[in-house]
Structure 1
Amino acid sequence: MTSHPEFNAKTTGTEAAEAFAKEIKGKNVVITGVSPSGIGASTALAIASQAPATLILASRTQAKLNTVVSDIRKKYPSVLVKPVALDLSSIESIRSAAAEITSIIHRLDILINNAGITLQTRDPVLTPGGITVDLQFFTNHVGPFLLTELLLPTLLTAGSNSPKGDCRIVNVSSHGHRLSPIRFSDYAFESDLYDGVPEDERPPTDLPPGFLQITNGYYGFIGYGQRTIDTGLSRGLDEQGRSTLSGTAPAGIWKSIDQGAATTIVAAFDPKLADDAGDVVDGNWYLADCQFANEKLAAHARDPKCAQRLWDQTEKMLDIVSAL
């Protein structure tokens, strides 16, 4: 249980930030994937309301990023807000963004990997390690992995200077991970969903038809599952895709983006998480609606061998050896 058992699906990010005002004050925070219509912007606004030391917002579209930065500076002029250009589909952009961030701050308390994309068309990408992967997989997993690795020194500095060694990495995911296990044999998503694919890499056979939508041989939703709030994430979907996604809202009711930010803020700042090992899966927490939600994890997401295999493979994709 988190420190606020009364928090639920209706709790807003603003309310959560107020509850953790003491933990937010004076912290250096990086948030990726920030645009006016998204959870990243709502998360940033909520955190800014409680006097962080530095708020660095990293995103791909400069105009949208500037809009959010301008809004925060207007509402909270005492908060130092810095925009950083970041395209998680580009190795060069990731390295450039990490260098800029570390030139601004030497200590990073909270990294919120919020950015993500949803695509319905296949776009193969050759990684530095010579492994071809799907662009959606690269942007939603490989890119954030590299950014986190490059920011580790600043995170470790924060951890070593904290009485509890408390620095955090929050990866914003979704229950969409249950659509498919990791396809270790087919990172580019070129094979059939079931035929010729190892049994432990096949999606469930009882998925609603909408999630099996195919465009030029590419199953976009299954590709997304390698990583239920109405945000700009669905802007790349066609009408059928948006209709499928809209059907995932519990009781047909979408959260507001402020409500969507609440769980991220709990994950980033709730002090009880550092003390409660009872709901940890392989050293990590999985939260939904501001509470522990391990029961909603797919089997492959609970499997430490699967996690280690993905970690090792991601290192090979990037041609690096992680400092962790």
Structure 2
Amino acid sequence: MATHADYNAQTTATEVAAAFADSVKGKNIVVTGISPASIGYTTVMALAAQAPANLVLASRTKSKLDAVADDVRKAHPDVQLHLVPLDLADMASVRAAAASITGKLDHIDVLINNAGISTPERLAAKTPNGTEVDGQFLTNHVGVFLWTALLLPLLRAAATSSASGTARIVNLTSQGHHLSPVRFSDYSFRRDPYDVPEDEKPRQEIPAFFLRLNDGYPGFLGYGQSKTANILHATELARRLKSNQKDGDTRISVFSVHPGTIETELSRSLDQEGQETIAKTAPAGLWKTQDQGAATTLVAALDPKLNEADVAGGATIGYLSDCQLRDDMVAAHAKGEDTAKRLWTETEKLLEFTVGL
């Protein structure tokens, strides 16, 4: 249970950061996916207002990163900012970004994996071992998996320090994960959406809009697969950290977050059918503001009471929505411990990289 039972869909990130100011002040915080008019922007602005020691902004597009940094500096000139280029679809970029942060900081108290893409167009991609995967899966899961693993030593340093004693990892996912399980037999969606083993098929009752094909590619299903992977990654990472029993790993908490249905450039570009379909996924058809959309992220990142949650891929999944733990909202295909273990092992193979947990 989170500290504030009264927090809900209307709660703002500004409000949450102020309430948990002690969890921000003097801390080293890393946030990915930074651009103007985004929940990443609101997340950073809310954190900057509470005097973190170091705030690292990591993003793919330099101009957008610079624009956000300018706003932070104008509003909070005393905050120590570090700008790091990061393209999660490029594993060399991921490694370089992680190395850059390791050269700047001796520990990370909070890692917020906010970055991600959603596109109706096929982005053909290959992993380091040569496997063809969907570009959304590569960016939203494979890149995030490697990025988080490379920063684990800095998170461990925070969890073992007397000044902090804990560390927090937050994966941004979505209720869009209900659209598709992980397609272990067809990561790239080259086959018909239902031409896969039973446990990899989309639900039959999905609205037709989400099954739309763009040159044979179901973009929404690709997005859903990547968001399922975000949840499975978080729960398996939590389980492995807890069972590791060393290097402060038991004091690193991992959560996944559904930010809500939010007004963004992507949502505003949808046609009428898309707008109406997406609106139905929000409670009472209400769209959140950017500030409201970042609130749940900051509850997951900052609320000290969440350290009591037994998040290890078992009884507690650690999924938050509208600023509360809501494991009941997680689809069955994103809950299984065996599936989470399989995804972890398969991702290590895709990357030709072993985390060591």
Give secondary structure in 1 for the equivalent of 2:294. helix
Deviation at 1:244, TM superposition (A): 3.9
Deviations 1:84-128 (A, max 9, x none): 111111111111111111111110111100011111122221111
1:90 match: 90
Paired letter, 2:141: H
Deviation at 1:242, TM superposition (A): 5.3
TM norm structure 1: 0.95
Q: Distance in 1 between matches of 2:203 and 2:51?
A: 45
In structure 2, relative to structure 1, the CA distance for the partners of 1:306 and 1:260 (3 Å cut) is: same
Give secondary structure in 1 for the equivalent of 2:31. strand
8 Å contact 1:117–1:233 — kept in the other structure?
no
Q: Percent identity?
A: 53
2:72 match: 72
Matched, 1:161 2:166: no
8 Å contact 2:30–2:58 — kept in the other structure?
yes
In structure 2, relative to structure 1, the CA distance for the partners of 1:105 and 1:234 (3 Å cut) is: farther
In structure 2, relative to structure 1, the CA distance for the partners of 1:281 and 1:320 (3 Å cut) is: closer
Deviation at 1:130, TM superposition (A): 2.0
Deviations 1:15-50 (A, max 9, x none): 000110011111100000011111111000111111
Q: Distance in 2 between matches of 1:51 and 1:306?
A: 40
In structure 2, relative to structure 1, the CA distance for the partners of 1:37 and 1:214 (3 Å cut) is: same
Deviation at 1:140, TM superposition (A): 0.5
1:302 match: 335
TM norm structure 2: 0.86
1:204 match: 203
Deviation at 1:239, TM superposition (A): 6.9
Stretches of structure 1 that go unaligned for 5 or more consecutive residues are: none
Q: How does 1:1-324 map to 2 (within 5 A)?
A: 1-162=1-162, 165-195=165-195, 197-226=196-225, 227=227, 228-234=261-267, 241=274, 244-277=277-310, 281-282=313-314, 284-324=317-357
Q: Distance in 2 between matches of 1:231 and 1:191?
A: 31
Q: Distance in 1 between matches of 2:271 and 2:83?
A: 31
8 Å contact 2:295–2:323 — kept in the other structure?
yes
Q: Distance in 2 between matches of 1:163 and 1:51?
A: 16
Deviation at 1:276, TM superposition (A): 3.0
8 Å contact 2:317–2:335 — kept in the other structure?
no
8 Å contact 2:180–2:202 — kept in the other structure?
yes
Give secondary structure in 2 for the equivalent of 1:214. coil
Q: Distance in 2 between matches of 1:239 and 1:82?
A: 41
RMSD (Å) for aligned C-alpha atoms: 1.8
Q: Distance in 1 between matches of 2:267 and 2:91?
A: 24
Moved more, 228-237 or 52-61: 228-237
Deviations 1:155-204 (A, max 9, x none): 11111115774101100110110111110100111011113x10010000
Deviation at 1:237, TM superposition (A): 6.1
Deviation at 1:253, TM superposition (A): 1.6
In structure 2, relative to structure 1, the CA distance for the partners of 1:38 and 1:26 (3 Å cut) is: same
8 Å contact 2:109–2:155 — kept in the other structure?
yes
Paired letter, 1:44: V
Paired letter, 1:45: M
Deviation at 1:248, TM superposition (A): 2.8
